[in-house]
Chain A
Amino acid sequence: DTGVSQNPRHKITKRGQNVTFRCDPISEHNRLYWYRQTLGQGPEFLTYFQNEAQLEKSRLLSDRFSAERPKGSFSTLEIQRTEQGDSAMYLCASSQHAGPHNEQFFGPGTRLTVL
């Protein structure tokens, strides 16, 4: 499978715990994006990387959230001290070209449930 992959697909955690998700983009894609999607809503942009550089963060990305892409390939999204409001689907996408006109390919998402 040469698409975007995400792990785990599902994560259930207790409030206050830390969680980490992984995204593996399509191999030749240099841009990687994280989105959050709650039930019945469209995805909301969180942050994106150009290779290993994190270029933009949405105001939705609180200081409990941190994303990395250390080698410009896979990326991790960590949420510290999870809250029930963090329950959502976390989507990763990648694209090949920089600039505003690019097709973003999405992964299947990681569904987080915070109890």
Chain B
Amino acid sequence: GESVGLHLPTLSVQEGDNSIINCAYSNSASDYFIWYKQESGKGPQFIIDIRSNMDKRQGQRVTVLLNKTVKHLSLQIAATQPGDSAVYFCAENPAGGGADGLTFGKGTHLIIQP
């Protein structure tokens, strides 16, 4: 079936470097995408979202890029800090699906090395 997935299970970066986390989705009807951060023992925390009529959106230290042609989503984190260590999930909300439940990918574990 259609699903949202991630390319890498673990990403290790040096503190201060920029991080890029990638996500591939297969439902071309999806019109809304979200990145969540989940720390150990906690629920997912909203980071940033993007609608399908946009290809880029920026937040504080984070940027989400959407390439609908190849159905690819990425999260860029600038100047990573120790507090950025977590599992990052992309999620989609398929258009016209009736339910507003999100479909999540498997997650990328971001490790920040000092």
**Chain A partners chain B:** yes
A31 lies within 8 A of B100 (CB) = yes
Q: Residues of B contacting A47 with CB < 8 Å?
A: 101
In-complex Cβ contact of B43 among A4, A31, A45, A46 (8 A): A4
Q: Residues of A contacting B83 with CB < 8 Å?
A: none
| Count of chain B residues near A, Cβ 8 A | 28
Q: B45: CB under 8 A from chain A?
A: yes
Q: Residues of A contacting B101 with CB < 8 Å?
A: 33, 35, 45-48, 56, 58
A68 to B20, CA, bound (A): 40
Stretch at the interface among B61-69, B71-79, B87-95: B87-95
A→B interface (CB under 8 Å): 4, 31, 33, 35, 40-48, 55-56, 58, 91, 93, 95, 98-109
Q: Can you list 26 pairs linking A and B with CB atoms under 8 Å apart?
A: A4-B43, A40-B107, A42-B91, A42-B104, A42-B105, A42-B107, A43-B44, A43-B102, A45-B102, A48-B100, A48-B101, A56-B100, A56-B101, A93-B43, A95-B100, A100-B93, A100-B95, A100-B100, A101-B32, A102-B100, A106-B43, A106-B44, A107-B43, A108-B42, A108-B43, A109-B42
